[in-house]
A = this chain, B = another copy of it.
Amino acid sequence: MGEQARARRSDAVRNRGRILTAARHLVTERGPQVSMSEIAGHAGVAVGTLYQHFPTKADLVSAVVAEQAGELVDAVVQAWERVRDDHAEPAAELLAFVERVLEAAAVDRAVKAAARSLGAEPEFSDAEARGAAALGHLIDAGRAAGTLRHDLAVSDLYLLVATCPTDQPPEVRRRWLTLVRPGLLRQ
A interface residues, Cβ below 8 angstroms from B: 149, 156, 159-160, 162-165, 168, 172, 175-176, 178-184, 187
Are the CB atoms of A175 and B163 closer together than 8 Å?
no
B180:A159 contact, CB within 8 angstroms: no
Contact B183 A159 (CB under 8 A): no
Q: Select from chain B the residue with minimum beta-carbon distance to A113.
A: B167
Residue of B with least CB distance to A178: B183
**Cβ contact within 8 Å between B187 and A172:** no
B187 near A182 with CB under 8 A, answer yes
Query: What's the least CB distance linking A2 to chain B, in Å?
Result: 53
CA distance A183 to B185 in the complex (A): 10
CA of A187 to CA of B160 in the docked complex: distance in angstroms? 20
B175/A156 in contact, CB under 8 A: yes
CB–CB A184/B180 < 8 A:
no
